Chains A and B, each alone.
Chain A
Amino acid sequence: MPSDADQMIEQRTSDTDRVWTALENVKDPEIPLISVVELGVIPEVRIEDGRVTVRMCPTFAGCPALDVMREDIRKAILAEGFGAVQVDVVFDPPWSTDRITPEGRRKLKEFGLAPPAKCNGSVTGDMLDQVVCPYCDSDRTTLESIFGPTLCRAIHYCNSCRQSFEQFKPV
């Protein structure tokens, strides 16, 4: 017979799993292939007395997708039957592209964005110059602009397949 304490822990774990599963279905509105979990913006989920608190670390501080993501997260967890959901936007830990999961990086490429190099919190010019084309895998590419159509993208040109492409830029 499991003790009451064991049952409580089991219940709590399965609740937490349900929240994480719900979060895996919340996508970045600007890159709909990738979930907020794969993007690495959810450092923590807590459940106390049926109340869910999600900590969320924003990607770029001025990103307009932030409010949309926050609301989508709230709705997705409410839809799982939890009574109250709070999404706290936090700067600790500071989000970095190093937080994007391997699966997330694969999906960025599938979406047509070159994944960011690992930067350990400090971007160098090389990380922007040496980017592999997401379409043809050539490394004969040229940086065109460190700013792009959204805050998180830089623009490059591939000299092999002769197409412009975007990179999810390292931060």
Chain B
Amino acid sequence: MSQQTIEQLKPQVKTAIVDLLYRLADDHLILGHRNSEWTGLGPILEADIAFSSMAQDKMGHALAFYRLLQQLGEPDPDTNAFLRSGDQYRCCSLVCLERGDWAQSVVRHFLFDEATRIRFEALEQSRYEPLAQVARKLRGELKYHTMHGQMNLDKLGDATEESHQRMQDALDRLFPHAMGVFEPTEWDETLAAEGIQPREAELCKTWRSQVADMCAESGLTMPDDVGPIYGGRAGKHPEDLKKLLDDMQKVYRLDPDSEW
């Protein structure tokens, strides 16, 4: 099977790839920012360091995707991160939500990183070679995030009655948002037909079955009769994102031409 380079892309395929890259980049940037909100506030030092490190990793991964966008003629990473309004973002609602209690942050991190692992495993085979290279590069780093997520799901899932209840509540609340990670877009078919990424529904199916097993092993029950919350991939976000962007973009917008 031949691989595609930037020069060979048909316009429609390029548009589909750009859309996919914005979804990936924006998810990582916004979750990175959310993770960083635990810096200095984590319940114990190791938890604080873990969320701060994962925040930094997610920012790095976002940057890798924004750089791929730049190679395709989109604005530079800083412009994309700091000068777009909420409706221009393509992130899912899961990453937008306010951090909530510790259980919600841990469950979100677990659900998102398992989804990312499954997506990256598929992207490693992508016929869009620059994206496949990034997926291969980030695999080792992501492994530490999934290890941490699974470890904490195990620990808190059945540590005490309260920890179990909080984790189950978080899972019930966040699961429809997590299914929204796999919101299909109008580019789904093009991306699948061109061998760039499998259909969202296919990725979602793999994720659901693996996550259900992991939840069960941790004494938690994955809700199976709820529908997904969609909208993020079309630019429709919960109010939480606006507040996050106001905060994240504030300094940059004071003087966008500054040299940092």
Contact = CB atoms under 8 A, between A and B. Distances in A.
Nearest to A169: B144
B133 A171 contact: no
**Which interface residue of A62, A125, A149, A169 has the most chain B CB atoms within 10 A?**
A62
A32 interface: no
Given A61-B61, A151-B53, A146 B140 contact: no
Given A94-B137, A169-B144, A171-B143, A62 B49 contact: no
A144 B46 CA distance: 8
A57 B143 CA distance: 19
A149 B49 CA distance: 7
Contacts of B138: 61
Contacts of B63: 61-62
Given A147-B53, A147-B54, A169-B144, A91 B136 contact: yes
B57 interface: yes
A121 interface: yes
B155 interface: no
Contacts, number: 78
Interface residues of A, number: 28
B90 interface: no
Nearest to A128: B147
A148 B130 CA distance: 30
A62 B59 contact: yes
Interface in B40-88: 46, 49-50, 52-54, 56-61, 63-64
B60 A62 contact: yes
A96 B133 CA distance: 13
User: What size tier do the contact residues of chain B reach?
Assistant: 20 to 34
Contacts of A170: 140
B140 A91 contact: no
Given A61-B141, A147-B148, A171-B141, A94 B133 contact: yes
B151 to A, nearest CB: 8
Interface string A74-112: 000000000000000011101110000000000000000
A27 B54 CA distance: 25
Nearest to B138: A61
Contacts of B140: 94, 96, 119, 121, 123, 170-171
A62 B143 contact: no
A63 B134 CA distance: 15
Nearest to B60: A62
B147 to A, nearest CB: 6
A96 B54 CA distance: 18
A147 B134 CA distance: 22
Interface in A97-153: 119, 121-123, 125, 144-149, 151
B139 interface: yes
Contacts of B60: 60-63, 151
Interface of A: 57, 60-64, 90-92, 94-96, 119, 121-123, 125, 144-149, 151, 155, 169-171
25 contacts: A61-B60, A61-B64, A62-B57, A62-B60, A62-B61, A64-B56, A90-B133, A91-B130, A92-B133, A94-B137, A94-B139, A96-B140, A121-B139, A121-B140, A123-B144, A125-B147, A145-B50, A146-B148, A147-B53, A147-B54, A148-B49, A151-B53, A151-B60, A171-B143, A171-B144
